């Protein structure tokens, strides 16, 4: 039965899933059915949006060039869900305000940090003056939004969202979801060998905490 096949496929790596699909036409069709469910973006985002809001979010993604990355993108490729994770949206500073306006229009509240104005428009304009994350990682600033228990972070980039992703602490989180496609920069290492190369060697506690979190989730760090 399909339910049995799905249980088997959920335990396999991406490479083994492809091999399984080649056994017969029947298993190919069941594998495609499983993939449509396992890699369903609407299911992934259901913690943060209704189905209608997800469609609208994807439209705003396309308009702004925003990408989903961090632990959420990793969850899509890993076919797992971590309850404690936030939704991290990376977008160029010049277009990011539109994403912020969208989130507030569907009921998310802007939660300012100690250095940010409580007014979203003013906080966004302050970025040019503060330049908070001028440390070579490509950040402009981070804006937090909350609705009930759902938290979304808009991470604005000085240049390109991908520039920020390429400066992550290690390769395990170098995956992105665009408005139309999803990409993993290190698929073999991340999902077959379950290893992550440390790429940012700064010894800051925040980066160490982030790396340790993925060790706890089953990845081995290599330097």
Any idea which of 23-37, 123-137, 183-197 has the lowest mean pLDDT?
123-137
pLDDT at residue 132 in the model = 47
Q: How many domains does the chain have?
A: 2
Say yes or no: 103 and 45 in one domain: yes
Closest to 151 in 3D by CA, of 207, 85, 211: 85
- Tell me the C-alpha to C-alpha distance, in Å, between residue 148 and each of 48, 58, 84, 107, 114: 10, 21, 14, 9, 21
130 phi, psi to nearest 5 deg: -80, -40
Top pLDDT among 84 and 57 is at 57
Task: Tell me which DSSP letter residue 219 carries.
Answer: P
Do the beta carbons of residue 3 and residue 37 sit within 8 Å? no
pLDDT at residue 162 in the model = 93
Q: What is the mean pLDDT of the chain?
A: 91
CA quadruple 97, 102, 104, 105: dihedral positive or negative?
positive
Q: Is residue 194 part of a domain?
A: no
| CA dihedral of residues 103, 109, 113, 115 (deg, nearest 10) | 80
Do the beta carbons of residue 142 and residue 156 sit within 8 Å? yes
Say yes or no: 154 and 179 in one domain: yes
pLDDT interval class at 202 (50, 70, 90): low
Q: Is residue 117 part of a domain?
A: yes
Say yes or no: 105 and 180 in one domain: yes
CATH code of residue 178: 3.30.460.10
Give pLDDT tens digits for 9-48.
999 999 999 999 999 999 999 999 999 999 999 999 999 9
pLDDT interval class at 196 (50, 70, 90): very high
- Boundaries of domain holding 11: 2-38
Q: What is the three-class DSSP state of 128?
A: helix
Overall average pLDDT of the 145-157 stretch:
96
Q: What is the three-class DSSP state of 59?
A: helix
Contacts of 4 (CB under 8 A, 6+ apart): none
Give pLDDT tens digits for 99-119.
999 999 999 999 999 999 999
Say yes or no: 100 and 166 in one domain: yes
| pTM of full prediction above 0.85 | yes
């Amino acid at each position: 039965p399909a339910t049995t096949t799905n249980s088997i496929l959920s335990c396999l790596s991406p490479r083994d899933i492809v091999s399984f699909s080649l056994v017969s036409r029947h298993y190919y069709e069941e594998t495609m059915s499983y993939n449509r469910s396992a890699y369903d973006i609407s299911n992934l985002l259901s913690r943060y949006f209704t189905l209608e809001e997800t469609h609208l979010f994807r439209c705003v993604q396309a308009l702004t060039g925003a990408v989903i990355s961090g632990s959420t993108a990793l969850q899509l490729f890993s076919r797992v869900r971590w309850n404690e994770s936030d939704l991290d949206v990376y977008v160029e500073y010049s277009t990011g305000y539109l994403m912020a306006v969208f989130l507030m229009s569907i009921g998310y509240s802007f939660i300012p940090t100690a250095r940010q104005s409580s007014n979203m428009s003013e906080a966004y304009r302050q970025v040019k003056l503060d330049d908070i994350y001028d440390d070579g990682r490509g950040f402009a600033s981070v804006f937090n939004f909350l609705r009930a228990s759902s938290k979304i972070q808009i991470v604005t980039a000085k240049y390109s969202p991908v520039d920020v992703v390429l400066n992550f602490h290690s390769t395990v989180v170098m995956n992105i979801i665009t408005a139309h496609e999803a990409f993993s920069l290190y698929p073999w290492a991340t999902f077959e060998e379950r290893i992550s190369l440390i790429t940012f060697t700064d010894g800051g506690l925040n980066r160490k905490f982030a790396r340790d979190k993925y060790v706890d989730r089953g990845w081995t760090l290599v330097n």
